[in-house]
Amino acid sequence: MKRIYTLLFVLLAAVATVSAAKPKFEVRHVEPLSWWVGMNTPLQLMINGENISAYDLTILPANRGVSVAKIHRADSPNYLFVDVAIAADAEAGDYTLRFTSGKRHYDYTYTIAEREAGSRERESFTTADFVYLIMPDRFANGDPTNDSTPDTVEKADRSKPGRRHGGDLQGMIDHLDYIADLGATAIWSTPLLLDNEDGASYHGYSCSDYYHIDPRYGTNELYRTYVEECHKRGLKVIMDIVPNHSSTSHWWYSDQPFEDWTHKFDSYTQSNWTFSTNMDYNASKADLYQMESGWFDRSMADMNLDNEYLLNYFKQWAVWWIEYSGLDGFRVDTYPYNEKLPMSRWCEAVMAEYPNFNIVGEVWTSSIPQLAYWQGGNYNKDGFNSHLKSIMDFPLHDAIRAAMSEGGNDAGWGKGMTRIYDVLSHDFVYHDLSNMMIMAANHDTDRIGDVVEGDVNRMKIVAAMLCTMRGMPQMLYGDELLFRSSDRSKGHPTLRVDFPGGWADDERNLFDRAQHEGDQKELFDYTRHLMNWRKSKGVIHNGRTLHFIDRDNTYAYFRYDDNDVVFVFINNTDSEREVPWARYAELAKELHEGRDVVTGESVKMEGCRVAPASALIVEFER
């Protein structure tokens, strides 16, 4: 009997040991976080949990039109990829994901909601819009309690240019009226998703979680409120996204679903940043591979979009944010560094769900043919179609900056305003001029105020060109107030200056127009006037361009259609210039008295003179 008790004790102890060793079932992540009925995009859930591949999955109840179509196991045992079938008449509501292994089962609630009416037909940003670019951490601190959080590594330290300063979503919401009053009609903010690096995480381009707003900015719910508040003020919202690379602090990095989820090398290999390899007939395959597979930085793992599961993940992620928050557009970072064929399919998928949606890609090149290659519908000899609707006009950006730094009477051949004429003379290369974003500066370039060394008159010329040229204009926050870098020699962190008035202890509040003084007031009032005038000026949004070359550092162009004409004369010299109307006779001959857009005064064709370093903008009726 004693032996029997001993054996029983050993058996019970063994069972207890096995039971204790058996991990508790836990679903760590289900992405997308939710979904909707009536979507065009197929739903493939990525489910993460300890040894979850050992489980089968069913969706309950079984009679409401939602079911499991197929289960895919990954290389890691901690993932399931599940194709979900959603019938056309499926009911919206909560569903149960039931995980089963033998006689055990575990339940997880998943929501498939009703889709908002008209969601598919949503409009996006166009040439009628003026885009205001914000860097959230440097704009305004509306909630000081989230400057540092227990669940994020880097803590706020406003005394250091490269650290977090505390700007957040609430600060953006608090100052939407300022942006709307300025005349902007759309806001592009640099990424707001979690970036959990231990330094320089404020820029947001190293994503640690694709489905959650960084808690130092706020919450997903607050982001949705931000979009709603923007829409109340006639402001569209453009989300900045980065499919090319994720942070090595992302929760999946140490346990990737598939071996080829990210690009891996025997030793750290950086991109060669030569995206001409995408269209260069002479480029080696080795150079192309390093360009699109090499890493941007040691903390930025390069994503492999040739993996179909990852590509599906990014398609759904994009659609989820649009549907969840009510977005109006995307700006895609480092666009050409993604694998180009998968990204073409990504663009197609987003546009299939939202036919009127606009996506602008960052294609940072001064080469006009290379830039044109990336716009969807462009004629490319290799037959490639990116399906990317809009591109950022960096050649024009470069020309504006160079021209403004070459003001004066001695610009020289091929310099000054001739640079801008030359860039626009290549417009025949582009497939769609209306879908080009134009700018003089962004968060990655020297501030235009630095380029012109604080010259308010040439800053006004820049504003005049942005408000009257073809394409969709974008302005970096603070350029309307002549912001300059705090220390230009120290690079990016110092050009991304804090907006005075965005923090409670700031001495000045430049969100308050009553506190504008001197050159800042002059530039703000000028820019605000033109931006608001542009809103209703269809000839600027959709008109044609006629320009004239001159070698004296002046530049003249017309924007015109069948009903309206706007004439712009840029005097980038240090001397007064008379407008040579006879030279512009092919369009000017049919015009008579016009109106100065800035002053409201009448402009006659005879003896019209333009002050040094200034722009004349005249509107006519045909």
Positions marked active-site: 333, 362
Does the bond joining 61 to the residue before it have cis omega, within 30 degrees of 0?
yes
The label of the residue with tokens 């575990």 reads: 106
CB 282, CB 333: distance < 8 Å: no
Question: Would you state the structure tokens that stand for residue 288, as one six-digit string?
Answer: 């192309």
Q: Give the 3-state DSSP-derived string for 85-134, with helices as H, strands as E and coil as C.
A: EECCCCCCEEEEEEEEECCEEEEEEEEEECCCCCCCCCCCCCCCCCEEEE
Which residues are paired to 610 by β-bridges? 577
User: What CA–CA distance (Å, rounded) separates 154 from 202?
Assistant: 9
Question: Would you state the structure tokens that stand for residue 549, as one six-digit string?
Answer: 């070359």
The residues, any chain, with a CB within 8 Å of residue 221's CB and separated by 6 or more, are: none
Grouping H, G, I as helix, E, B as strand and the rest as coil, residue 409 is: coil
First-to-last alpha carbon distance for the chain, in angstroms, is 113
User: What CA–CA distance (Å, rounded) separates 20 from 463?
Assistant: 69
Any alpha helices (H) in 220-266, and if so which ranges?
220-232
CB 359, CB 329: distance < 8 Å: yes
User: What CA–CA distance (Å, rounded) separates 511 from 259?
Assistant: 50
C-alpha triplet 168, 169, 171: angle, nearest 5°: 70
User: What CA–CA distance (Å, rounded) separates 569 from 618?
Assistant: 9
Q: Give the 3-state DSSP-derived string for 31-76, with helices as H, strands as E and coil as C.
A: ECCCEECCCCCCEEEEEECCCHHHCEEEEECCCCCEEEEEEEECCC
Nearest to 588 by CA among 600, 610, 603, 572: 603
